[in-house]
Structure 1
């Protein structure tokens, strides 16, 4: 048996149209995954560059200082953490205040490390290199996984539909065959 190129366009009674459609569906799913990989890599590189710049800027403009707990909320003391009012001075001995959640054991007068901007305003901790890596990997792998999942769902749904059509066609053929059998075979050789 010779194999000829052309994705099954030649006449073969054993190769049904639905078989070709199923093969094309599988090919489309694989091509989707292959096409998404370079896009995921490009987006990951862009994300890495962007968040690296953000991290570098945040690490240059945010500073770790010690703040003194001035008051703590006694009503939330039974929880694992509670709100406390803090006081700190940065950069020119100007007094600043703010509230954050502290642990249950934190008391008035304790020192708590906080991050502040150049102007002394309280902010979150700067983005670390680990955060940049996790965001970059999360985007790239997440996009690739989503494309693979979409391709798999596409293939499975198309195969389910094609299997249904094949079963229906087979039932129709069996009905025709049984009708011919019940009428009796006629000798057409003449």
Structure 2
């Protein structure tokens, strides 16, 4: 029995294979590694450099992920050490909080004078960041050392993750940027060589025409 039109359509696996082949051919054309009898040695060298840069970018991504994991572990370890060496105490806001702008932050930070007591019972006064909207006389939480001096709070898990993501992003962007600069430099050198070859060939052509 004759097959219907629908029976001639490619199946799911065949469609997927076709998509992969088209993607590979498109990538080969874009990187310059596709077979072309008109391609010059300099073109092949540039195409090889593009492929190498693409592979190095993938390796750079893995390296960035590894750096992010290491930084995350380091930040967690540092936060745990800080939490073990320092402790939180309840302090009283003894001055009117005032807002100050911090570079890199869109929202102003409120600071005020706060008073607290050390573990030895000594009253201390210092300046600390307080919650937005806090007023004089309100209670707040501050972090102090074993000696009772004000210190910064340990990083939260969210802050540690943000630091790790920024570190990984910086590594990846630096890798891609360096590869882009190297490719641009190589292409400039190859273009200069191509211009010299074109000028030489054109001079030979004009010389042959005058004969």
Q: Does the alignment pair 1:25 with 2:36?
A: no
1:95 corresponding residue in structure 2: 123
* Cα distance change of structure 1 residues 104 and 126 upon mapping to structure 2, 3 Å threshold: closer
Q: Deviations over 1:52-105 (max 9, x none)?
A: 1112222344333332344569xx899977864432103232212222466898
Q: Of the candidates 129, 142, 148, which is equivalent to residue 157 of structure 2?
A: 129
Work out the CA distance in 1 between the residues paired with 2:100 and 2:163: 35
In structure 2, the partner of 1:139 is 167
Partners in 1 of 2:100 and 2:73 — Cα distance? 44
Distance 1:102 1:109 in 2: 12
Cα 1:77–1:26 shift into 2, 3 Å:
closer
Which structure 1 segments of 5+ residues have no match?
1-7, 184-190
> TM-score if structure 1 supplies the norm length?
0.71
Whether contact under 8 Å (2:128, 2:142) holds in the other structure is no
Q: In the aligned structure 2, how far is the partner of 1:103 from the partner of 1:141? A: 31
2:187 is matched with which residue?
A: 159
Q: Which residue of 2 aligns with 1:39?
A: 63
CA distance in 2 between counterparts of 1:122 and 1:78 reads 19
Kindly name which structure, 1 or 2, has the bigger radius of gyration based on alpha carbons. Answer: 1
Q: Calculate the aligned-residue CA RMSD, in Å.
A: 3.3
**Long gaps (5+) in structure 2:** 1-32, 102-107
- The secondary structure found in structure 1 opposite 2:114 is strand
Between the aligned partners of 1:14 and 1:105, the Cα distance in structure 2 is: 72
Equivalent residues of 1:59, 1:127 under 8 A apart: no
1:20 Cα shift? 2.3
- For 1:173, the equivalent position in structure 2 comes to 201
Equivalents in 2 of 1:177, 1:108: separation in Å?
89
- Name 1:54's counterpart in structure 2: 78
Evaluate the alpha carbon distance shift between residue 134 and residue 78 of structure 1 in structure 2; reply closer, same or farther with a 3 A threshold: closer
Contact 1:78 1:104 in 2 (8 A): no
Higher RCO, Cα 8 Å, sep 6+ = 1
Question: Could you tell me the TM-score, scaled by structure 2's length?
Answer: 0.65
Aligned to 2:91: 67
Determine if contact 2:100/2:111 at 8 Å carries over to the other structure.
no
Q: Is the 8 A contact 1:48 1:133 kept in 2?
A: yes
